[in-house]
Amino acid sequence: MRLRPWAFLLSTLISMVTAIGFILYGLNVGIDFRGGTLVELQAKQGNADIAELRRRFAGLNIGDVQLQEFGGPNLVLLRYGEQPGGEPGQQAALRRVRSVIDADYEVRRTEVVGPTVSAELVQVSVVGVILSILAVLLYLWFRFEWQFALGAMIATLHDITAMIGFFVLTRSDFDITSIAAILTIVGYSLNDTVVIYDRIREMLRKHKRVPIAELLDIAINSTLTRTVITASTTFLALLGLYFFGGEVIQGFTASMLIGVVIGTYSSIFIAAPILIYLGLKPGGFGASAGGETEDDEAPARSRA
């Protein structure tokens, strides 16, 4: 609890940098949100040469072209943005693409995302994130007290802000998989937070006269081993996916790696300490099941 002013200062700086970066540069939204075309290519012989493909597409005047290996060394995903002129413009661009690769590559799949679909995806994604936060707020309010619900919501908003900051600063593609990563991290962080909150509630019922800051310290320390082991094993699994899972999921796993660190940090240094500023006090819950409460020396003995 002694570190909470520094933790809040760090989180405030992260939020400010995210806000400034978002205003100045925005997100590097992918085709899912801005519209465009995705083409899956397969080399007819040997492996795909991404550098050579990039040189071929450079003179087609179709805007920013993204190329990545997909599923194997002979498979490539080509992405380019929405073209002027609507559907005829998209088809004309696709014909130009085919003209420079037909001799060496086979087109296995083509997907076109129009502006209407991309706008709907943005709307649905935003609504999904908001509804998930509200659902968690109601659940925690019902299970605990309003301070816990509000504290969890603040920590969740902190996680989302920090994740958006990651996408803003790294200029990584922000698409549907990014939304999935954010929601996954929100769930992961909330799981950690609820575990800590449950221990805090237990301590509040047992120890009525212990200062709230000391009580929160004891509750966090008693769950710290579980939190660290869970975060470490998840991080190592994601690290393996990042290095050996291929480029297709590399962006997703990179954001998940950052998210695990952010979620673990917020559970310990944001969700719990914020309860002090929200006015949580010992004795706010009913007595323990046995009807007795321990004196204020019990926590010190248990900690020792």
Q: Which pLDDT score, from 0 to 100, does residue 118 have?
A: 58
Which of 60-64, 100-104, 203-207 is the least confident region?
60-64
Paired with 107 in beta bridges are 41
DSSP run (H or E) holding 76: strand 75-81
Please say if the pLDDT value at position 148 is more than 80: yes
Residue carrying structure tokens 């413009």:
89
The pTM of this model reads 0.73
Query: How many whole angstroms separate alpha carbon 302 and alpha carbon 21?
Result: 46
Please say if the pLDDT value at position 18 is more than 60: yes
Paired with 111 in beta bridges are 38
Answer for the pair 160, 232: CB distance below 8 angstroms, yes or no. no
Residues 6+ apart with CB under 8 A from 219: 196, 199, 200, 202, 203, 272
Same fold, 4-26+118-303 and 36-113: no
Q: Which pLDDT score, from 0 to 100, does residue 251 have?
A: 83
Query: How many whole angstroms separate alpha carbon 10 and alpha carbon 243?
Result: 30
Answer for the pair 215, 200: CB distance below 8 angstroms, yes or no. yes
Residue extents of the structural domains in the chain? 4-26+118-303, 36-113
For residues 186-212, give the mean pLDDT. Answer: 86
Backbone angles phi, psi at 285, to 5 degrees: -115, 170
Backbone angles phi, psi at 113, to 5 degrees: -110, 115
DSSP string, 24-74: HT---B-HHHH-EEEEEEEESSS---HHHHHHHHHTS--S-EEEEE-SSTT
Give the architecture-level CATH label for domain 36-113: 2-Layer Sandwich (3.30)
Which of 58-67, 177-186, 250-259 is the least confident region?
58-67
Please say if the pLDDT value at position 16 is more than 50: yes
Answer for the pair 294, 206: CB distance below 8 angstroms, yes or no. yes
Q: Which pLDDT score, from 0 to 100, does residue 298 have?
A: 45
Q: Class assignment of domain 4-26+118-303?
A: mainly alpha
